[in-house]
């Protein structure tokens, strides 16, 4: 089993920045693709960004140029740097692990509990 714990969420004004962290434990972190998803009230969970066990990365069009996903395998941690935040970025952000890189939630095997990000106008 893989355990994932998100942190770094909070309240920020539009235009501000936050960095989310996801700490993994239980298995060899470096072999997993890691993704970030988000879900706002009344909406379906949507893909945000993902990084492979190598150097590959994927981003949703809505966050390209503003968000950056990175990983530190030595610390078993994946990050999501969020800049130029907008009110529409408000959601619960979830970290997830998969055997391969992708943007589809069902392919991810392990999920964290989520961390709330609220962007005020």
pLDDT above 70 covers a percentage of the chain that reads 100
Beta bridge partners of 46: 38
Tokens of 76: 């078993």
pLDDT tens-digit series, residues 32-67: 999 999 999 999 999 999 999 877 899 999 999 999
Cβ neighbours of 30 (radius 10 Å): 12
Helix or strand holding residue 93 (H, E):
strand 91-98
Residues 6+ apart with CB under 8 A from 49: 35, 36, 57, 58, 59, 60, 63, 67, 68, 69, 80
* pLDDT of 26 above 90: no
Phi, psi of 2 (to 5 degrees): -120, 130
Residue 73's pLDDT band (cuts 50, 70, 90): confident
* pLDDT of 30 above 90: no
Residue 75's pLDDT band (cuts 50, 70, 90): very high
């Amino acid at each position: 089993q893989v355990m994932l714990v998100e942190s770094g969420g909070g309240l920020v004004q539009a235009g501000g920045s936050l960095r989310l962290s996801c700490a993994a434990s239980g298995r060899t972190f470096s072999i997993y693709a890691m993704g970030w998803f988000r879900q706002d009230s009344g909406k379906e969970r949507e893909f945000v960004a993902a990084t492979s066990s190598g150097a590959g990365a994927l981003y949703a069009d809505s966050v390209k140029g503003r968000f950056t996903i990175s990983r530190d395998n030595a610390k078993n941690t994946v990050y999501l740097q969020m800049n130029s935040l907008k009110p529409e970025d408000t959601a619960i952000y979830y970290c997830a692990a998969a055997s391969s890189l992708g943007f589809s939630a069902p392919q991810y095997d392990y999920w964290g509990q989520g961390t709330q990000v609220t962007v005020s106008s």
